[in-house]
Amino acid sequence: MFAFRLCAHEGCNHYASTGSNFCLRHSQDQAALLAQARRQLLGPERLDDFCITSAVFDPMQIPQKKTIAGCNFAWCTFHRVDFSGVHLISSFFDFCMFDQCLFHDIDCRYTVFSGSKLVHCDFTGSFIVHSNFSGIDSLSSTFNSCDLYYSNFSSSFLKDTPFEDCNLKKTNFAFTDQRRVSFKYSNPEEIIRV
């Protein structure tokens, strides 16, 4: 798991970025931290225990089959980033903005997307279990043909977001606001609604 070191800037409650004593905002060399993060995501090797928050990532394709484990990317913005085929394990993407990102056929376990905004994102064909999407805003995104066993979408706002041909066993949809959400060919009777 990433180091829970706080930023050295007085009064800052954000985690320090990997390789720095400061968070991105308080770093003297933001460009170097951003370049390092981009390099780490684009490299073919497994990425463990990496931390950067509030970074903005422009379009890129993360190598398929890459494993991202124990990492913290909270409060980041991902614009047209392709995560397809990536393995996400115990990582944090909470309060992020995902704009036109692809997540085809990802293998995602114990990973947190809580509070994030997903706009025109596509998770088709993915295995997403024991993961947390509570409090997300999902607009024109799709989770078709996913195994969502024990994942949590509670208190989310879901608009034009289909969950067709999915395994929804023990998937939590309590207190969601749903607009034009389809569960066709799925098993909504297995959903947790309270």
- Return residues touching Zn ion (CB under 5 A): 7, 9, 12, 14, 23, 26
Q: How far is the CB of 26 from Zn ion (least distance, A)?
A: 4
**189: DSSP letter:** G
Place of tokens 């704009």: 99
* Distance, CA of 146 to CA of 26 (rounded, Å): 39
CB of 20 to Zn ion, least distance (A): 10
Of 8 and 42, which has the nearer Cβ to Zn ion?
Answer: 8
Closest CB to Zn ion among residues 7, 51: 7
Quick check: helix, strand or coil at residue 14? coil
Q: Which is nearer to Zn ion, 11 or 44 (CB)?
A: 11
Compute and round to an integer the Cα radius of gyration of the chain: 17
**Least separation, in Å, of the C-beta of 12 and Zn ion?**
3
Nearer CB in complex with Zn ion: 30/140: 30
Residue 13 beta carbon to Zn ion: minimum distance, rounded to whole angstroms: 8
Residue 120 sits at the vertex; the CA angle it makes with 46 and 169, to the nearest 5 degrees, is 70
Cβ burial of 104 (10 Å; 0-12, 13-18, 19+) is: middle
Residue from 112, 142, 154 nearest 130 by CA: 112
Q: Which is nearer to Zn ion, 20 or 141 (CB)?
A: 20
Contact 44, 62 (CB under 8 A): no
Shortest Å distance, C-beta 8 to Zn ion = 8
